[in-house]
Amino acid sequence: MNDNDWTNAYDYILPQELIAQYPTEKRDHSRLLVIPMDTNTPFVHAYFYDLPSFLREGDLLIRNNVRVFPARLIGRRPGGGKAELLLVRHIKDCSQNASEEWLAFAKPANRLKEGMRITIGNEKPSILSAILLSHMEENEGRTWHIRLETDYPNGIRSAIDKCGQLPLPPYIHRPNGIASPEDVERYQTIYAGPSGAVAAPTAGLHFTEETDIALQKKGIENKSITLYVGPGTFRPVTANRLSDHQMDSERFVVPAETLSAMHIAKKEGRRIICVGTTSVRAIESLPEEIREGDYAGESTLFIKPGFVFRWTQGLITNFHLPKSTLLALVSTLAGRERILSAYETAVHERYRFYSYGDACLIL
């Protein structure tokens, strides 16, 4: 068994004060650590607004344009006690935009029962409620099959938008756990489109209109995919071996325009550089026989040492949690020792880590 399969091989020491609690004042003023894959080339310290200077004409950037939706629903049980739901996956629409079925994480687990109705939000009367249909034990917690119901005139999605809250990663701390107005703006990319993610594709949070203009002037192409990021992105690897870890399934869409641009870039020998690990997982999950048209599928792809990249030749990403699937992914691309050396450098230089933290560029 390869030593790179041990989960403990992807551990590092991170001082808690380096976990960013707030974004930089301006998106592209976060720092950028440039990590050449050539181990003889030193790391470069820069800022995100310097990104165009490290890329070259003809590079193709692939970005995840998914939008985070207010998936966190706080409500009351019949007796008045608090209950909280995190919408994880849409199952089906029911009656004329007034009801939908979802999978959701729910707590407090020991107080919830099948058939219970939870009223959501502070409106009186409530415009949104959730009925707990059935549950299953998985992912180290209780996952429920629920039915959301509303009599709100604008329908179920508008009721969710009105009553729900933006979910934040567990390492970002806010009073009462509630996202601030700044979070609602900044924990979202400027190019966010289709709604449905419970977490942001955080590498994209650094982009600004000015950055996009500078990239365009240099002849760097931007194309989008959509991967609906689920809570599994925060789930640590608890198995001793990476090979024993099972990834959660996430829906993704690669539009025909993006797929065509990828094939052309590959044929012409131009680099394909992903913005974020979710973009990597989406394009590397494409079946080899797919050549044209829109493609929609499910990805359970776990990129770990031994994986051969078919598309990705570079990556813009944030700094990831120890012993995580995301750290394994970037280590597979650039080499585990190279990445751990870069992380050690980032800690020494006081870079900011995780969702609101700084970025790195792997080329």
- Is 170 within a domain? no
Element of type H or E holding 226? strand 221-227
| pLDDT band per the 50, 70, 90 thresholds, residue 37 | confident
Cβ neighbors of 66 (< 8 A, separation 6 or more) are 192, 193, 194, 195, 196, 197, 201, 226, 227, 228, 229, 278
Query: Which CATH number is 16's domain given?
Result: 3.40.1780.10
Asked whether residue 82 falls in the same domain as residue 56, the answer is: no
What does the alpha-carbon distance between residue 233 and residue 280 come to, in Å, rounded to a whole number?
14
Asked whether residue 46 falls in the same domain as residue 189, the answer is: yes
What does the alpha-carbon distance between residue 57 and residue 362 come to, in Å, rounded to a whole number?
17
Half-sphere exposure for 150 (CA within 13 Å, toward CB): 24
Are the C-beta atoms of residues 242 and 328 closer than 8 Å to each other? yes
Confirm whether pTM is higher than 0.85. Answer: yes
Take residue 181 and report the two structure tokens written for it.
């107005």
Average pLDDT over every residue of 251-260 = 98
Helix, strand, coil percentages (3-state) for the chain, rounded to 5, are 30, 30, 40
- pLDDT 10s digits, 210-237: 999 999 999 999 999 999 999 887 778 9
Asked whether residue 217 falls in the same domain as residue 305, the answer is: yes
Asked whether residue 103 falls in the same domain as residue 230, the answer is: no
Q: Are strands 60-64 and 141-150 parallel, antiparallel or unpaired?
A: unpaired
Asked whether residue 44 falls in the same domain as residue 81, the answer is: no
Are the C-beta atoms of residues 282 and 64 closer than 8 Å to each other? yes
Asked whether residue 90 falls in the same domain as residue 108, the answer is: yes
Asked whether residue 138 falls in the same domain as residue 43, the answer is: no
- pLDDT 10s digits, 54-100: 999 999 999 999 999 999 999 999 989 999 999 999 998 876 778 99
% the chain with pLDDT above 70: 98
